[in-house]
A = this chain, B = another copy of it.
C-alpha cells in the first residue's frame, strides 16, 4: 500500500504469495499510488504549514470550511469535510477552547448549531491560507503545467464514479 518496498517488489512478492489467484496489478497501482500520494501531500502540508501553527489537518479543514461559508451548520461542515458529526463535536470543542471559532444555537431550528470564526480565527486563516496554497503549488509542480487539468479531472472521475455507482 505505501512504504519501504517499491510496488514492483511488492508485486513480485504478491505473485509468490498469491500463486494461482488473478490479481489486477494495474488497478492496484492506481489505488496504492493514490494513497501514497494523498498521504505524502497531507504530511507535507501538515509539516510545513499546519504544525507550525499548532493545527491538525482536521482543525484546518474545519477552519477553512467555516471561513469560506460562515455562518454554517455543523452538519454541513461535517459533510463538506468528510468526517462524522461526532468527530466534529470534538474538533469544534478544541477550536472553541483556542478561541478560533464559536458555536451559536440556530434561531430557526432548535436542533441546529451554527459555527462562525472569531476575529482571531479569521486573522489566522488570512495568514495561513496563502502559505497553504503556496505549498499546494509545490505539490502541483510535480505535474506538467499542460497536464494539470487532466490530472485533476482523472481524480474527479474516480470520486464521481464512487459517488454515483457504489
Task: Give the residues in chain B near A86, CB-CB below 8 Å.
Answer: none
Asked if B161 and A139 sit within 8 Å, CB to CB, the answer is yes
Give every chain B residue within 8 A of A61 (Cβ-Cβ). Answer: 1-2
- Determine which of B81, B142, B152, B162 lies in contact with A26 in the assembled complex, contact meaning CB atoms within 8 Å: B152
Chain B nearest Cβ from A5, distance in angstroms: 7
Residues of B within 8 A of A136 (CB): 24, 27-28, 30-31
Interface size range on A against B: 35 or more
Known contacts A26-B149, A82-B39, A155-B36; is-contact A160 B139 (Cβ 8 Å): no
A110 lies within 8 A of chain B by Cβ: no
Q: Could you tell me if A130 and B68 are in contact, using CB atoms closer than 8 angstroms? A: no
Which residues of chain A from 5 to 29 have any CB-CB distance to chain B below 8 Å in the complex? 5, 10, 13-14, 17-18, 21-24, 26-29
Contact status A18-B64, CB under 8 Å: no
Contact check, B158 vs A26: say whether CB atoms are below 8 A apart: no
Check if A30 sits within 8 Å of B162, measured CB to CB.
no
Q: Enumerate chain A interface residues (CB-CB to B < 8 A).
A: 1-5, 10, 13-14, 17-18, 21-24, 26-31, 33-45, 47-48, 61, 64-65, 67-69, 76, 79-82, 129-130, 133, 136-143, 147-149, 151-152, 154-163, 165-166
